[in-house]
Structures are given as C-alpha cells and as structure tokens.
Amino acid sequence: MLDPRAEPNRPGHTLAWVWAIVIVIVLGGGYWAFHKNAKRTSTSMFRGGASNVVPVRVAQVAIGRINYSLSAIGTVTAFNTVTVRSRVDGELQKIYFADGQKVKQGELLAQIDPRTFQVQLEQAQGQQKQNRALLQNARRDLQRYQTLYKQDSIAQQQVDTQAALVQQYMGSDKSDQAAVDSAALQLSFTRITAPISGRLGLRTVDQGNLISAASTTGLVVITQTQPISVIFTLPQVQLPAVLAAMHKGQKLAVDLYGRDDQLKIASGELMSVDNQIDVATGTLKLKARFANDDEALFPNQFVNVRLLVSSDDHALAVPTLAVQHGSIGAFVYVLKADGTVHIQPITTGTVDGKQVAVTAGLTAGQQVVTEGLDRLREGAKVEVMKAAADAPAKPAATAAATPTTAPAATNGPRARH
C-alpha cells in the first residue's frame, strides 16, 4: 500500500527537470551564436587588414647645400639717434619740417626769434670798434715817443709806459673779438638745423611757444635708419664657431625674418660683437648692419635673426619630416624595390630649415618616406602618391586569409609624434 504523503511530490520533480532542460538548450544556442559571430567578425577583420596598403609620400636622398645657421631674436636699433634741442632761450618763431619727414644733415628745422641775439652782437661789435680806435691812437703815440727818444727829447720811461698802454689795448681788442664771436655764435643758434641725416619723429613743441636750452624734451627726434643695425644675443656655447670665422676675416651674412619666421625682411652682415659675456644669462651681444634701402626696418622692431656661420655644398640631405626618433635613436623609413619599407637608423648632422644633413646610414638616390609615417611598421606595404592632389588608391580585394598567412607583428620602433 502506497504512502499517501508521497503523492503530492511527483509533479514538482517533473517540472524541475523540464526547466533544467530548457535552460541548457538556451545556453547552448547562445554559445553557438556568439562563437559563430565572433569567428565571422575575426575573419572579416583579418581579411581587411591583410589587404591594407598605406598611402605615403617619399623624397629622394640627395647631395646638396646645407647651411650652418644660428637663430636668435633681435631688436632693430637706429644707427644714430639725436634729440634736437635748442641751445638758446626764445620764442619758436617758425617750424620748417613736417612730422615723419626725411632730412639731411645741416637742413634748417626751426627758427627762434633772433632779435635779442642780434642786438647783443651789435653791442659787442660797437665795443670792439671803440677799443680798436684807442689802440690805433696809442700805437701812433708810441711811434712819436720812439722818434723823440732817439732825438734825446724824452725819457725812456715815457716810451715804455706808452708801449705798455698799446699792449693793454691789444688785449682789450682780443677780448672784444671773443665777445663778438660769442654773440655771433648765440645768434647762429637761433637757426636750429639737423645734426644728422635721418627721419624725423613727431614734434613735441608747436610754433609760437617759448623754448629753453634747459628743456630735456627737445623739439623732435631724428633717427638714422639708412643704414640701420640689429642687436641680438647668442649663447656662449655657440660663440667659438662665430669668432673663429670672424678672426679669419670672413663676412658673416645675417638674414632677418618676420614674426612667422617665413618671410625674409632684409639681408646684411655681422659688424661686431660685445666685449664681455653677460654672466646672468650666459649670452653675448652681437651687432649686424643693414642697408635698409626699402625702409622695411624700424627702430625697436623685433625680428627673427639667422646668422650664417658656414655651409657645406656636398652634404647628404633629407627632409626633416622624414627623420623619426625612437628607442634606436634617429631613423627613417626607406622605400624598398618591392614596395615595402625598412626602418633604417641614421646619424644626423646640421639642421637647415626643412633639410637635415645625414652623416651615416643613407646613400644618395635612396627614397625615404615623408608623409604617412604614423601607420608604418617594418615591412609594411605602401603606395607612393605622386602629387598632393592624388587620393589614396582603394586596396584591391584579396582572398580571405587564414591565421597562418597573417603578417607577424614586429617589434620595430614606433615613431614618436
């Protein structure tokens, strides 16, 4: 006879087994679908990577001119700067120049009221004429006294006294001449002329004002801008090459560029160097001269300076864009005959703008990659683009690759950007 307490448990065991079978089927189906999609994606990605060709641009390694130039920031300085001041006091009667005008040395700039100084000159000349009349009379008396003395008509003392009086009047005439010259000089100072040739600035005093010789502001400033100079500094470690060239008598060329360091403003030559190094900065001042015929340079203008120290006409040069740096040092990607690239370590030398000299690692005629470097690896397949307007070619379709034909990953150095 069955135990009545066991009957209710049978439906529960059956339901549990049904749920267990459903869960196993769902998990199995999910695993199969996931594995199939993952395999399809992996194969698709592998197929696309196997046929990827990197578009690049290349440049040929060639023998050319490499200049050894030093760069600095300089300040344009007027060759001579003069503040025009009055040497006498008086009313500014007339101004003969315009602001910004170019003037030549000795050209009249302004006129001060000359009447006061003209009167002083006439007074000095009148005093001089009076004393000269006395001098002439004393000389005639001296001649008479000397004649009478020879006739033994007067004493020697009277002759000597008259001779002393003549000398006294001669001294007065000398002083009178100095007074006349001084008055004439003061009168000439009423005509203010340009002490140097150059360009005028903005005048600081208007016509009709009283000006003084003690004023420090002056009437106007003249700057000599043709020629003009540029002062710049170089670190002391760069000086030996510069000084060695100067001691040989070489004229070192200096080029000036604008703020973008691309547009050349002027060309000149190095004039001189300072006589001591600034201990605070470890630099030395240098001065260059420029003709400035087109007046492109203005005093106190900031410019980029390039001092040409030496040049090599037979240097092996490559574009600076082609040179990369990694764990092995400087290297380039060299294009091989089979359309792949090879990592080639190099030794670099002087950098000249967009070109850099290579002292070891390359030969003339080789081609190096200049663009598209970020996607390159050792042995990568590349396609050379001929012109800037060219678009990268679409990679040709290839058969699906298997894992055994996939390119092996290399441990070559990656370019640092």
CATH number at residue 169: 1.10.287
Q: Once rounded to an integer, what is the mean pLDDT over residues 185-193?
A: 95
Tell me, yes or no, whether 250 lies in a domain.
yes
- Whether 204 and 270 map to the same domain: the answer is no
Confidence of residue 23 (pLDDT cuts 50, 70, 90): confident
Distance CA 113, CA 120 (A): 13
**Of 194, 185, 179, nearest in space to 81 by CA:** 194
Which pLDDT score, from 0 to 100, does residue 41 have?
A: 44
Tell me, yes or no, whether 345 lies in a domain.
yes
- Whether 91 and 212 map to the same domain: the answer is yes
Which pLDDT score, from 0 to 100, does residue 37 have?
A: 56
Whether residue 217 is predicted with pLDDT greater than 50 in this model: the reply is: yes
- Whether 302 and 227 map to the same domain: the answer is yes
Which pLDDT score, from 0 to 100, does residue 21 have?
A: 79
Whether residue 343 is predicted with pLDDT greater than 60 in this model: the reply is: yes
φ/ψ bin of 206: left (φ > 0), alpha (ψ from -120 to 50), beta (otherwise): beta
Which pLDDT score, from 0 to 100, does residue 11 have?
A: 54
**Phi, psi for 140 (deg, rounded to 5):** -65, -40
- Whether 245 and 357 map to the same domain: the answer is no
- Whether 93 and 210 map to the same domain: the answer is yes
In this predicted model, what pLDDT tens digit does every residue of 286-330 receive, in sequence order? Answer: 999 999 999 899 999 999 999 999 888 888 888 989 899 988 899
CB 107, CB 198: distance < 8 Å:
no
Q: What percent of the chain has pLDDT over 70?
A: 83
Q: Which residue type is seen at 143?
A: Q
- Whether 202 and 289 map to the same domain: the answer is no
Whether residue 416 is predicted with pLDDT greater than 50 in this model: the reply is: no
Numbers of helices and strands, H then E, in the chain: 4, 22
Residue that finishes a domain, picked among 253, 284, 312: 312
Tell me, yes or no, whether 415 lies in a domain.
no
Confidence of residue 415 (pLDDT cuts 50, 70, 90): very low
Tell me, yes or no, whether 348 lies in a domain.
yes
- Whether 120 and 196 map to the same domain: the answer is no
Q: Once rounded to an integer, what is the mean pLDDT over residues 392-409?
A: 38
Return the CATH number at 61: 2.40.420.20
- Whether 102 and 120 map to the same domain: the answer is no
**Phi, psi for 153 (deg, rounded to 5):** -100, -20
Least confident of 9-13, 71-75, 268-272, 346-350: 9-13
Whether residue 391 is predicted with pLDDT greater than 60 in this model: the reply is: no
Confidence of residue 2 (pLDDT cuts 50, 70, 90): very low
Q: Once rounded to an integer, what is the mean pLDDT over residues 148-159?
A: 90
Residues in a beta bridge with 112: 92
Q: How many domains does the chain have?
A: 4
Tell me, yes or no, whether 38 lies in a domain.
no
Tell me, yes or no, whether 370 lies in a domain.
yes
Least confident of 25-39, 82-96, 218-232, 349-363: 25-39
Return the CATH number at 203: 2.40.50.100
Q: Once rounded to an integer, what is the mean pLDDT over residues 250-260?
A: 91
CB 269, CB 227: distance < 8 Å:
no
Q: What percent of the chain has pLDDT over 90?
A: 54
Distance CA 297, CA 289 (A): 11
Whether residue 394 is predicted with pLDDT greater than 50 in this model: the reply is: no
Confidence of residue 222 (pLDDT cuts 50, 70, 90): very high
Tell me, yes or no, whether 240 lies in a domain.
yes
Confidence of residue 219 (pLDDT cuts 50, 70, 90): very high
Return the CATH number at 304: 2.40.30.170
Which pLDDT score, from 0 to 100, does residue 15 have?
A: 66
- The boundaries of the domain holding residue 269 are 69-79+223-312
In this predicted model, what pLDDT tens digit does every residue of 24-69 receive, in sequence order? Answer: 787 777 666 666 555 554 444 333 344 478 899 999 898 888 888 8
- Count other C-beta atoms under 10 Å from residue 372's C-beta: 20
With vertex at residue 255, the alpha carbon angle to CA 254 and CA 256, rounded to the nearest 5 degrees, is: 125
Q: Once rounded to an integer, what is the mean pLDDT over residues 7-27?
A: 66
Confidence of residue 345 (pLDDT cuts 50, 70, 90): very high
Residue that finishes a domain, picked among 201, 216, 231: 216
Residue that finishes a domain, picked among 145, 172, 189: 189
- Whether 275 and 353 map to the same domain: the answer is no
- Whether 102 and 209 map to the same domain: the answer is yes
Tell me, yes or no, whether 334 lies in a domain.
yes
Average pLDDT over all residues of the chain: 84
- Whether 107 and 120 map to the same domain: the answer is no
171: tokens are: 């001294």
Q: pTM above 0.85?
A: no
Which pLDDT score, from 0 to 100, does residue 191 have?
A: 96
Beta carbons within 8 Å of 360's beta carbon, 6+ residues apart: 346, 347
- Whether 337 and 279 map to the same domain: the answer is no
